[in-house]
């Protein structure tokens, strides 16, 4: 496994890519309402990334081994869709929860982030799942510092999710990121403390827990990309791009529109 640490110049480029990624999510937030289609949200994001930011939407035509090229510029995962939902004609309706996942390439470097959005009046169960998943994200983030281990991140996420009565999706995980969309290491959202790769200052990776209200089992839809829960239970995900520092971490995809770290998590 070859894990790269980023140079000072690379980190600066990744700060820009992260800021622009967060900016897209801030831009699209007011449009996420009942009646809009996921395809319209995708087109709005695409036009903003390309025409306003002068950047590239990384998912468009992305084709890792074994996959057909991804046909859209963002991922939109609604209700029981876990991740990689392909935008299309689906209209959002009151009570839906939707994850929008945005990756921007700026000056050759990637920023990657996703947020949950709630459409109109959602159920107590849906709101709680979104809230607990957000807490899982931050419980993972605060483990990050030089000398800690990847297992510390996964353990913190798994403990909180399962204590809350939820399950952690295991087939998908966070990842290193930089000049490439997906780099080493893999960042699992479950695990044991003090195990796995030892973190070093200059590493950059995503933390992006996918938490199901029901069981952890998933399946892939016919489009080859969209992942759903097998039991049709709701699923939620939040994601940030994180830089490891000597004293802790820096969240590269933070913005004014991003929910802040819960006060009780430190």
The CA distance from 169 to 189, in Å, is: 8
Q: Is 266 a member of any domain?
A: no
Q: Please report whether residue 259 resides in a domain.
A: no
Residue 84 counted as an annotated binding residue: yes
Domain region containing 63: 8-254
Please state the domain count of the chain.
1
Q: Is residue 71 assigned to a domain?
A: yes
Domain annotation covers residue 1: no
Quick: pLDDT tens for 84-139: 999 999 999 999 999 999 999 999 999 999 999 999 999 999 999 999 999 999 99
Asked if residue 171 belongs to a known ligand binding site, the reply is no
Which backbone phi and psi does 215 adopt, to 5 degrees?
A: -80, 165
Closest CA to 72 of 107, 100, 33, 31: 100
Among the listed residues 131, 244, 233, 232, the one whose alpha carbon sits nearest the alpha carbon of residue 178: 244
Say if 261 falls within a structural domain. no
- Identify whether 142 is part of a domain: yes
What gap in Å lies between CA 77 and CA 36, rounded to an integer? 14
CATH number of the domain at 204, please: 3.90.230.10
User: Which of these, 4, 210, 16, lies nearest to 111 by C-alpha position?
Assistant: 16
DSSP label at residue 24:
H
Q: Has residue 219 been placed in a domain?
A: yes
Could you list the pLDDT tens digit for every one of the 266 residues in the chain?
689 999 999 999 999 999 999 999 999 999 999 999 999 999 999 999 999 999 999 999 999 999 999 999 999 999 999 999 999 999 999 999 999 999 999 999 999 999 999 999 999 999 999 999 999 999 999 999 999 999 999 999 999 999 999 999 999 999 999 999 999 999 999 999 999 999 999 999 999 999 999 999 999 999 999 999 999 999 999 999 999 999 999 999 999 888 889 999 98
Alpha-carbon span 84 to 97, nearest angstrom: 15
Give residue 1's pLDDT: 60
pLDDT in the model for residue 101: 98
Is there a domain that residue 243 lies in? yes
The predicted pLDDT at position 266 comes to 84
Cβ atoms of residues 212 and 233 within 8 Å: yes
**Cβ contacts of 23 within 8 Å, gap of 6 or more:** 53, 255
Ligand-binding site membership of 239 (annotated): yes
Residue 113 structure tokens: 């982030």
Identify the pLDDT of residue 258. 87
pTM for this prediction: 0.97
């Amino acid at each position: 496994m070859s894990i790269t640490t980023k140079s000072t110049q690379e980190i600066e480029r990744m700060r820009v890519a992260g800021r622009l990624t967060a900016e897209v999510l801030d831009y699209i937030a007011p449009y996420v309402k009942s009646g809009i289609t996921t395809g319209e949200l995708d087109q709005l994001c695409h036009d903003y990334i390309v025409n306003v930011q002068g950047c590239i939407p990384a998912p468009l035509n992305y084709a890792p081994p074994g996959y057909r090229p991804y046909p859209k510029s963002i991922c939109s995962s609604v209700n029981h869709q876990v991740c990689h939902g392909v935008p299309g004609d689906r209209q959002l309706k009151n009570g839906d929860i939707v994850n929008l996942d945005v990756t921007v390439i700026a000056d050759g470097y990637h920023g990657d982030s996703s947020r949950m959005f709630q459409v109109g009046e959602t159920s107590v169960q849906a709101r709680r799942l979104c809230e607990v998943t957000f807490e899982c994200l931050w419980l993972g983030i605060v483990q990050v510092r030089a000398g800690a281990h990847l297992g510390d991140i996964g353990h913190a996420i798994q403990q909180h999710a399962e204590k809350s009565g939820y399950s952690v999706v295991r087939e998908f995980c966070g990842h290193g990121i930089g000049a490439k969309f997906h780099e080493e290491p893999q960042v699992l959202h479950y695990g044991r403390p003090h195990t796995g790769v030892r973190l070093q200052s200059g590493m950059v990776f995503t933390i992006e827990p996918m938490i199901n209200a029901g069981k952890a089992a998933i399946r892939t839809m016919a489009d080859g990309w969209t992942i759903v829960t097998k039991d049709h239970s709701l699923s939620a995900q939040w994601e940030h791009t994180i830089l490891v520092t000597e004293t802790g971490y820096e969240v590269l995809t933070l913005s004014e529109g991003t929910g802040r770290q819960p006060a009780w998590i430190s």
